[in-house]
Amino acid sequence: MNAIISASELASALAGENPPVLLDVRWQLSVAKAAGEPPFDGRAAYAAGHLPGAVFVDLDRELAGSPGADGRHPLPDLAEFGAAMRRAGVSPARPVVVYDGGQGWAAARAWWLLRWTGHPDVSVLDGGLTAWEGPLATDVPAPAEGDFEPVPAAAGLLDADGAAALARSGVLFDARAGERYRGDVEPIDRVGGHIPGAVSAPTNDNVGPDGRFLPAEELGARFKALGAADGTPVGVYCGSGVSGAHEVLALAVAGIPAALYVGSWSEWSSDPSRPVAVGPDPQ
C-alpha cells in the first residue's frame, strides 16, 4: 500500500473494479489577516468543483476536537470521527484516497487518522486537486453508508511527555517553518520556540515547487541526514497536528515509520511549566 497516489494512478483506480472512496478535505490554516479578508471556506471551494464522487470532510469539525488545553486541533471524539467516515462511505474493504487543494496538510491529517485507527488502505493524492486533469463535479453525492469502525493503534501517537522523552531518546522533528522553530516569530501560539531537543525539519522542504513529494530516495536521505538513522524511533510535531501529519506522510513515503504528537506546539506552549528552547540549536 502506497501512502501517496498520482493523478494518473487515481484515474486508473477509479475505473477499476473496486474504486476508492474519495474524501475532499480542503482547508487552510486560519491566522490573523488584513481586516475584511474573509476566511477560507473549504465547503464553498468543494461546492465550486470537486473530484466526481468525492465527499467533503470538515477538518475542524470531523478530524479534530474543539480547541482547548489539548491544542488547536486535538484528536476528535473517535465515535464522532467514525460516524463521519461512515457517512462518507468509508469501509475497510474499499481503498480511500484523500485530497485537498494542493498543500497536502489537511489530506495528510485525514490519512493519518484513518491509518492510526485501522483503515488498511489509505493514500493521499500527490499534488492535490491541482494535479488532477480530469473533469470536476458540483453535485453532492450520497454514498452508501460505510462500515468503518475506528480502532486506535497502540503506537503512532505521542503526548507531551512522550514527545519530550523522544527528543532525548530518538529524534523528534519540528515540521514548522524555521522562523517559528527558532522563536523569531510566533503568529499564533502563546510563545515562540521549540521543544528542547527537537530538530528543525520544515515539512515544506519535503515537496517540490509543484507541491508534489520529492522522490522517496531524496526524502530518505534528508531525514537520515537529520538524524533518522536505521532503527531510531522518530516522532513529529508542528503547530497543531496538521502540517506534522504531512511530515509523517513524507516519512512514510521514505519508508520511515513515525509517531505524531497531535497536541503539538499549541498544546506544549500553553503550559508555562513546560520548557521552551529558542534559536537554531535543538537544546
Number of Cβ within a 10 Å radius of residue 102: 19
Residue 177 included in any domain = yes
Q: What is the CATH number of the domain that holds 64?
A: 3.40.250.10
Nearest to 221 by CA among 265, 193, 256, 173: 256
The grid cell for 217 is 530516495
In a domain, 36, yes or no: yes
Distance of alpha carbon 49 from alpha carbon 135, whole angstroms:
9
CB atoms within 10 A of CB 131: 17
> What are the C-alpha distances in Å from 122 to residues 102, 108, 136, 170, 249?
17, 10, 22, 27, 11
- Residue 237 belongs to a domain: yes
Question: Is there a domain that residue 140 lies in?
Answer: no
Q: What is the pLDDT along the chain (283 residues), one digit of tens a residue?
A: 689 999 999 999 999 999 999 999 999 876 545 455 678 899 999 999 999 999 999 999 999 999 999 999 999 999 999 999 999 999 999 999 999 999 899 999 999 999 999 999 999 999 999 999 999 999 999 999 999 999 999 999 999 999 999 999 999 999 999 999 999 999 889 899 999 999 999 999 999 999 999 999 999 999 999 999 888 999 999 999 999 999 999 999 999 999 999 999 999 999 999 999 999 999 8
Kindly state whether residues 263 and 162 are assigned to the same domain: yes
Q: Which domain holds residue 11?
A: 4-131
The residues annotated with a catalytic role in the active site are: 238
162 domain residue, yes or no: yes
Strands 55-56 and 21-24: parallel
Residue 188 maps to a domain? yes
Contact assessment for residue 242 and residue 105, using Cβ atoms and an 8 Å cutoff = yes
**Residue 239 near residue 264, CB atoms below 8 Å:** yes
213 forms bridges with which residues in the sheet? 207
Do both 91 and 186 map to the same domain?
no
How far is the C-alpha of 114 from the C-alpha of 109, rounded, in Å? 9
Residues in the chain: 283
Quick one: 108 and 189 in the same domain?
A: no
In this prediction the pTM is 0.95
User: What domain count does the chain have?
Assistant: 2
User: Do 162 and 217 share a domain, yes or no?
Assistant: yes
> 29-65 burial, b if ≥16 CB within 10 A, otherwise e?
beeeeeeeeeeeebeebbeeebbebbbbbbbbebbbb
